[in-house]
Chain A
């Protein structure tokens, strides 16, 4: 079954601390993964996708096929990073619909 698991509902850190938001997936083909972010009172938006191999707002994520993981990392958290983060898997066999995890709320305290 195709599934995305985000084991933490809430991650609470202090400003300047490193952050790692965990994401594990289950997919029978070659996976394509994304991180979406939803800031308070804003709509869901794409943060980054693994095939781009880019860093957005200081965040990076590496696809680890051996561990079936796509963890989101940032070395030094900022207060403006506080948001809901969703890991998502592309279902290519299903017209490119997205399969989302349950989300992790990141709270960065001053």
Chain B
């Protein structure tokens, strides 16, 4: 079956521009996570959706970052006024959700480069 997909795979933008990164989770997975992986680091949590609502956005670094999941499936991570420090690989993961831990399946990531 299809895994988590993310588009685009690479995005190069200029400082100050707006970008949108898309995540298509595995069908039927209600939980969706965004992580950011900077060079030489492990993934760091950004935001978690259970269904359509953002249950935990404590990892978003500042108010330039925003994410939506309007129909409980596809999610879009939006970054306004991009800065060079936003350059990283943005990972999306989905899981069945629920109370106990369900394995998180990761997408291939979007590599964002801010010039």
- Contact A98-B45, Cβ < 8 Å, known A32-B101, A43-B3, A44-B91: yes
Contact with B along A1-20 (1 / 0, CB 8 A): 00010100100000000000
A97 in contact with B33 (CB, 8 Å)? yes
The docked-state distance in angstroms from the alpha carbon of A97 to that of B58 is 11
B58 in contact with A94 (CB, 8 Å)? yes
B59 nearest in chain A by CB position: A97
Place the interface of chain A in its size category.
20 to 34
Q: Does A100 contact B (CB under 8 A)?
A: yes
Stretch at the interface among B17-25, B63-71, B72-80, B104-112: B104-112
Q: Does A70 contact B (CB under 8 A)?
A: no
A6 nearest in chain B by CB position: B42
B56 in contact with A102 (CB, 8 Å)? no
Place the interface of chain B in its size category.
20 to 34
The docked-state distance in angstroms from the alpha carbon of A100 to that of B44 is 7
The 12 listed contacts between A and B (C-beta, < 8 Å) are A4-B42, A43-B107, A44-B43, A44-B91, A45-B106, A46-B103, A88-B42, A94-B45, A95-B55, A97-B59, A99-B45, A102-B41
Q: A88-B42, A96-B31, A97-B59 are in contact. List 14 more A-B contacts (CB 8 A).
A: A32-B101, A44-B106, A45-B106, A86-B42, A92-B101, A94-B58, A95-B31, A95-B56, A97-B45, A98-B45, A100-B42, A100-B43, A103-B41, A103-B42
